[in-house]
Amino acid sequence: MSARALPWLTLTVLWLAGCAVGPDYRRPAALGTNAAPAAFGGAVTITNAGDWKPAEPAAGVARGAWWELFGDAELNRLERLAAVGNQQLAVAAARFEQSRAEVNVARADLFPHVSVDPAYTRQRTSQNQPFLGKPAGVSATYNVFTFPLDASWEPDLWGRVRRQTESARAQLAASADDLAAARLAVEAELATDYFTLRSLDAEYALLEKTVTAYRLSLELTRNRRRGGIASDLDVSQAETQLRATEAQLPAVDLQRINLRHALATLCGQAATGFVLAGSTNAMSAAPLIPPSLPSELLERRPDIAAAERRMAAANAAVGVAQTAFYPRLVINGLAGFQSVSASTWFDWPSRLWAVGPALQFPLFTGGRNRAQLAAARAAYDETVAAYRATVLTAFQEVEDQLAAQRLLAAQLTAENAALAAAQHTLEISQNRYRSGLVTYLEVVTAQSAALSGERTVVQLHAERLAASVALTKALGGGWTTGPVLR
């Protein structure tokens, strides 16, 4: 090659290196051809719903310590423990570091690869091959000392390496979003388990208080029986009511123990010896939901952001598959020393070198390249469908939890009224029994209704708290965009 042609070859290589085959990534519409709903069905309007952007996931927006909305110091402590000790988060963090390293792996092909392979061999030639002037029929034994420096570089003419790097970076972003999703899931699961445990604590305390009251009722009934006022049936019914209520205590306690163990695991601690701060059995109040919610809240859900980044990675993979149809240019170089004697191994006359390009062009691959391209395009279509399914699921989850907030609040109001009526009925039945107007069966019935109502109220309050946690998770970590939710 002449020196005059070398600059033109260099310019051609640089021009081709600026090209990258394959489709450039453009975010598809989040809901396809369907329009985003103007408002949630839970009587909460989406601000700017008509301007819902096709897809601008923003999982990196600060969510803050959303659990502080509930004003529970023990919950705050547990969330801090889980943030540093939860092993699911450790797994997600390790996967993120893997993806970070994969970006560097993909970028490495942009640069020349150089290796050194020093070697020593001793060999004997065939008698039927002349060597170093020896005639045929005479063999030769000699040493070979080599110190080669091999270098190779493939100019990224069609953007294969750049598309690989683009895909790896998108996967890295998806891994970061997966880590955020795992963190949000752990936070929500811990909060839900904690509120359920506090509800069971309240139920257990209620049962203990009820057992104490039933013991007093049984003693009163026995005294009335001794005085000839009550019957053996009344005593038996009072004792049955007491024993049946006592039998419920171990079942509730078992649920409490299981939840404490689950909280220990979420916090990254052994269940043995894990304790919670003492509870006053006072349940936290459910936070108030604002009357309107901005549509951007759903965009910061980490699962939506991860799905969007996987679309970008799959789109780049299509470009990588397309580069298989183009020729590949590899420039190889070799330099080093070679000698048959160790004493002259690194002498200047022992030097050797070689340099030259190699062009590879795919003439026939049995349809493999086309099949790989078709597979890459199908994989991209899969990520688009998965992304849109994630967005639809997000709308569904928000709808579900808004409906739960509204209907559970109505149910709790009705249940409180029913409990007040049941307690009033119990008071009347007890007075009628003391007056000898009714049997103890009426008291037992009223007691069962009152206890059932009290337990239902406690459980509904816990369900409302759990629904608030689920709504927070569905919105990607709360309904404000500030660093700390207040």
Q: What pLDDT does residue 440 have?
A: 84
Per the CB < 8 A criterion, the answer to whether 440 and 238 are in contact is yes
Quick one: pLDDT band at residue 7, thresholds 50, 70, 90? very low
Mean pLDDT of 52-59: 47
Total-model pTM: 0.81
Mark out the alpha helices in 227-326 (DSSP H runs). Answer: 232-266, 296-299, 302-322
For 434, residues 6+ apart whose C-beta sits below 8 A from its C-beta are none
Does residue 16 sit in helix, strand or coil?
Answer: helix
- Has domain 17-111+166-326+367-474 been given CATH number 2.40.50.100? no
User: C-alpha angle with apex 364: 362 to 370, nearest 5 degrees?
Assistant: 85
Distance between CA 251 and CA 148 in Å, rounded?
76
CB-CB contact of 238 with 218 (8 Å): yes
Give the best-scoring range by mean pLDDT among 4-13, 232-241, 293-302.
232-241
Encode pLDDT of 198-237 as tens digits: 999 999 999 999 999 999 889 988 988 888 888 899 899 9
CB-based contacts of 130, cutoff 8 Å, min separation 6: 136
CA pair distance 397, 42, nearest whole angstrom = 11
User: Residue 428 to residues 316, 431, 437: CA-CA distances in angstroms?
Assistant: 76, 5, 11
Chain-centroid distance of CA 249 in Å reads 37
pLDDT 10s digits, 433-456: 888 888 888 888 898 999 999 999
Please state, in angstroms and rounded to a whole number, the distance separating the CA atoms of residues 406 and 413.
Answer: 11
